[in-house]
């Protein structure tokens, strides 16, 4: 099957989730913010419930499709660890990640989020390109 349709429909579900959280709970569906608040011990019940829900997603997908979603990791463990540190640190410093800035921020047409998305797309592209040139 064409890969664009599942991507589009999956994206729409992500937008639906963000809409639900905003219109019902009045909260922004920013994963780094939710996880950061959970790590700080604020609003634990709702933030923990969202994270548990996230983890229910792949089993739900398996229930419908019969297979787990594919997760192909090629990076070595040290690279994974450094990447995790950068993602955690950077998302807190920049007040958001692909969900908070990328989905909710862009939908709000926030200039801050547009700048953030342009920046992390640029450094993401640069990093992947550099890594491919160094070790093809």
Partner 1 sequence: MMHPARISSAQILVAQVLVALLAGAVFGLGLSLSGMLDPARVRGFLDVAGDWDPSLAFVLGGAVAVAFAAMVLRRRLRRPAFAAEFHLPATTPIDTRLILGSAIFGAGWGMAGLCPGPALAALSLGLAPVVLFVAAMLAGMVIHDRLAARQPGGSRS
56 lies in the binding site for partner 1 (CB under 8 A) = yes
What phi and psi values does residue 58 have, to the nearest 5 degrees? -60, -45
- At 118, which helix (H) or strand (E)? helix 111-134
Q: Site residues for partner 1, window 67-96 (CB under 8 A)?
A: 68-75, 77, 79-96
Q: Which of 1, 42, 66, 111 binds partner 1 (CB under 8 A)?
A: 111
Question: Tokens 């990791």 identify what position?
Answer: 73
Q: Which of 1, 41, 66, 108 binds partner 1 (CB under 8 A)?
A: 108
In 3D space, the residue among 19, 43, 32 whose CA is nearest the CA of residue 90 turns out to be 32
41 lies in the binding site for partner 1 (CB under 8 A) = no
Question: Min. distance of Cβ 66 from partner 1 in angstroms?
Answer: 13
Binding flags for partner 1, 13-32, as an x/- string (CB under 8 A): xxxxxxxxxxxxxxxxx-xx
Question: Min. distance of Cβ 105 from partner 1 in angstroms?
Answer: 8
CA distance 72 to 11: 20
4 lies in the binding site for partner 1 (CB under 8 A) = yes
1 lies in the binding site for partner 1 (CB under 8 A) = no
CA distance 25 to 23: 6
For partner 1 (CB under 8 A), the number of binding residues is: 105
**Structural contact between residues 104 and 33, judged by C-beta atoms closer than 8 angstroms:** no
């Amino acid at each position: 099957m064409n890969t664009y349709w599942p991507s589009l429909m999956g994206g729409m579900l992500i937008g639906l989730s963000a809409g639900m959280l905003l219109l019902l709970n009045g909260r922004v569906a920013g994963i780094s913010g939710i996880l950061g608040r959970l790590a700080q011990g604020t609003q634990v019940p709702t933030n923990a419930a969202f994270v548990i829900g996230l983890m229910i997603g792949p089993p739900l997908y398996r229930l419908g499709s019969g297979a787990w979603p594919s997760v192909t990791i090629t990076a070595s463990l040290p690279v994974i660890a450094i990447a995790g540190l950068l993602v955690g640190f950077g998302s807190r410093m920049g007040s958001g990640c692909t969900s908070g800035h990328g989905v909710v921020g862009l939908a709000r047409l926030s200039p801050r989020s547009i700048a953030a998305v342009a920046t992390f797309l640029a450094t993401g592209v640069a990093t992947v390109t550099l890594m491919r040139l160094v070790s093809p």
